Amino acid sequence: MVKLASARDFRTYGTGLTRNRCEYINAGLYLFATIVFCCAFASQFSSEPRSGLVLFLISFAIILIVNVHDLFAHLSGIDFRLPLMAFDLQLFFVEFAVPVLQVLGTLLSFLGILFLLIQVYRHFTY
Protein backbone atom coordinates (compact mmCIF):
# COMPACT_ATOMS: atom_id res chain seq x y z
CA MET A 1 0.00 0.00 0.00
CA VAL A 2 1.37 3.33 -0.97
CA LYS A 3 1.19 5.95 1.77
CA LEU A 4 2.96 9.10 0.71
CA ALA A 5 2.37 12.35 2.52
CA SER A 6 2.17 14.39 -0.67
CA ALA A 7 -0.45 12.11 -2.16
CA ARG A 8 -2.43 11.87 1.07
CA ASP A 9 -2.88 15.65 1.23
CA PHE A 10 -4.55 15.86 -2.18
CA ARG A 11 -7.05 13.01 -1.94
CA THR A 12 -10.69 13.89 -2.28
CA TYR A 13 -12.91 11.50 -0.37
CA GLY A 14 -15.34 14.15 0.78
CA THR A 15 -15.34 16.24 3.91
CA GLY A 16 -12.34 16.27 6.22
CA LEU A 17 -13.79 13.77 8.67
CA THR A 18 -14.74 11.37 5.92
CA ARG A 19 -11.28 11.56 4.41
CA ASN A 20 -9.61 10.80 7.74
CA ARG A 21 -12.05 7.98 8.45
CA CYS A 22 -11.31 6.35 5.08
CA GLU A 23 -7.59 6.66 5.71
CA TYR A 24 -7.93 4.99 9.11
CA ILE A 25 -10.09 2.19 7.68
CA ASN A 26 -7.58 1.70 4.87
CA ALA A 27 -4.65 1.53 7.30
CA GLY A 28 -6.59 -0.72 9.71
CA LEU A 29 -7.45 -3.20 6.96
CA TYR A 30 -3.84 -3.27 5.82
CA LEU A 31 -2.68 -3.91 9.39
CA PHE A 32 -5.28 -6.68 9.79
CA ALA A 33 -4.15 -8.27 6.51
CA THR A 34 -0.55 -8.15 7.71
CA ILE A 35 -1.51 -9.95 10.94
CA VAL A 36 -3.42 -12.58 8.95
CA PHE A 37 -0.38 -12.94 6.68
CA CYS A 38 1.90 -13.53 9.67
CA CYS A 39 -0.53 -16.11 11.07
CA ALA A 40 -0.60 -17.83 7.67
CA PHE A 41 3.18 -17.97 7.60
CA ALA A 42 3.28 -19.42 11.13
CA SER A 43 0.62 -22.00 10.30
CA GLN A 44 2.79 -23.37 7.50
CA PHE A 45 4.91 -24.99 10.21
CA SER A 46 1.91 -26.84 11.68
CA SER A 47 0.76 -30.35 10.86
CA GLU A 48 -1.99 -28.92 8.61
CA PRO A 49 -0.26 -26.45 6.24
CA ARG A 50 -3.27 -26.21 3.90
CA SER A 51 -5.01 -23.91 6.35
CA GLY A 52 -2.08 -21.53 6.00
CA LEU A 53 -2.63 -21.37 2.25
CA VAL A 54 -6.23 -20.31 2.81
CA LEU A 55 -5.05 -17.63 5.24
CA PHE A 56 -2.56 -16.45 2.62
CA LEU A 57 -5.41 -16.12 0.14
CA ILE A 58 -7.48 -14.11 2.62
CA SER A 59 -4.60 -11.77 3.43
CA PHE A 60 -3.71 -11.23 -0.22
CA ALA A 61 -7.36 -10.53 -1.05
CA ILE A 62 -7.56 -7.86 1.65
CA ILE A 63 -4.25 -6.33 0.57
CA LEU A 64 -5.47 -6.33 -3.03
CA ILE A 65 -8.67 -4.50 -2.08
CA VAL A 66 -6.73 -1.92 -0.07
CA ASN A 67 -4.24 -1.35 -2.89
CA VAL A 68 -7.00 -0.95 -5.50
CA HIS A 69 -8.73 1.53 -3.20
CA ASP A 70 -5.44 3.38 -2.82
CA LEU A 71 -5.01 3.51 -6.60
CA PHE A 72 -8.46 4.98 -7.07
CA ALA A 73 -7.82 7.46 -4.28
CA HIS A 74 -4.64 8.61 -6.00
CA LEU A 75 -6.37 8.90 -9.37
CA SER A 76 -9.30 10.79 -7.87
CA GLY A 77 -6.77 13.27 -6.50
CA ILE A 78 -6.04 14.30 -10.07
CA ASP A 79 -9.68 13.82 -11.17
CA PHE A 80 -8.72 10.87 -13.41
CA ARG A 81 -6.99 13.22 -15.87
CA LEU A 82 -4.36 10.76 -17.05
CA PRO A 83 -2.88 13.05 -19.77
CA LEU A 84 -1.51 15.22 -16.95
CA MET A 85 1.03 12.49 -16.21
CA ALA A 86 2.88 13.27 -19.43
CA PHE A 87 3.91 16.63 -17.99
CA ASP A 88 5.18 15.44 -14.61
CA LEU A 89 7.11 12.21 -14.09
CA GLN A 90 6.68 12.36 -10.32
CA LEU A 91 2.92 12.46 -10.81
CA PHE A 92 3.17 9.40 -13.04
CA PHE A 93 5.30 7.42 -10.61
CA VAL A 94 3.61 8.46 -7.35
CA GLU A 95 -0.01 8.52 -8.41
CA PHE A 96 -0.11 5.73 -10.98
CA ALA A 97 2.90 3.47 -11.45
CA VAL A 98 3.60 2.55 -7.82
CA PRO A 99 -0.02 1.66 -6.92
CA VAL A 100 -0.41 -0.31 -10.16
CA LEU A 101 2.75 -2.29 -9.44
CA GLN A 102 1.51 -2.96 -5.90
CA VAL A 103 -1.80 -4.26 -7.27
CA LEU A 104 -0.11 -6.42 -9.91
CA GLY A 105 2.35 -7.91 -7.42
CA THR A 106 -0.40 -8.73 -4.96
CA LEU A 107 -2.56 -10.21 -7.73
CA LEU A 108 0.29 -12.42 -8.94
CA SER A 109 0.98 -13.60 -5.38
CA PHE A 110 -2.73 -14.33 -4.89
CA LEU A 111 -2.89 -16.34 -8.12
CA GLY A 112 0.29 -18.25 -7.24
CA ILE A 113 -1.08 -19.28 -3.85
CA LEU A 114 -4.47 -20.12 -5.42
CA PHE A 115 -2.88 -22.41 -8.02
CA LEU A 116 -0.74 -24.02 -5.31
CA LEU A 117 -3.85 -24.63 -3.20
CA ILE A 118 -5.65 -26.18 -6.20
CA GLN A 119 -2.70 -28.51 -6.78
CA VAL A 120 -2.63 -29.50 -3.10
CA TYR A 121 -6.34 -30.37 -3.09
CA ARG A 122 -6.02 -32.32 -6.34
CA HIS A 123 -3.12 -34.29 -4.93
CA PHE A 124 -5.04 -35.27 -1.80
CA THR A 125 -8.24 -36.25 -3.63
CA TYR A 126 -6.62 -38.83 -5.97
Question: Which segment of 7-21, 26-40, 67-81, 103-117 scores lowest on mean pLDDT?
Answer: 7-21
Tell me the pLDDT band of 7, cut-offs 50, 70 and 90.
very low
Q: Report the C-alpha gap between 111 and 116 in whole angstroms.
A: 8
Domain total of the chain: 1
Domain that holds residue 30: 5-125
Question: Model-level pTM?
Answer: 0.76
Tell me the pLDDT band of 5, cut-offs 50, 70 and 90.
very low
Main-chain phi, psi angles of 50, to 5 degrees: -65, -30
Question: In this structure, are residues 81 and 68 in contact, taking their beta carbons and an 8 Å threshold?
Answer: no
Q: Is 10 a residue whose pLDDT tops 60?
A: no
For the stretch 73-119, pLDDT in tens is 878 776 667 777 778 888 788 778 888 999 999 999 999 999 999 99
Higher pLDDT, 2 or 91: 91
Q: Is 3 a residue whose pLDDT tops 90?
A: no
Residue 17's pLDDT is what?
57
| C-beta pairs of 10-14 under 8 Å, 24+ apart in sequence | 10/77, 10/78, 11/73, 11/74, 11/76, 11/77, 12/76, 12/77, 13/73, 13/76
Residue 102's pLDDT is what?
93
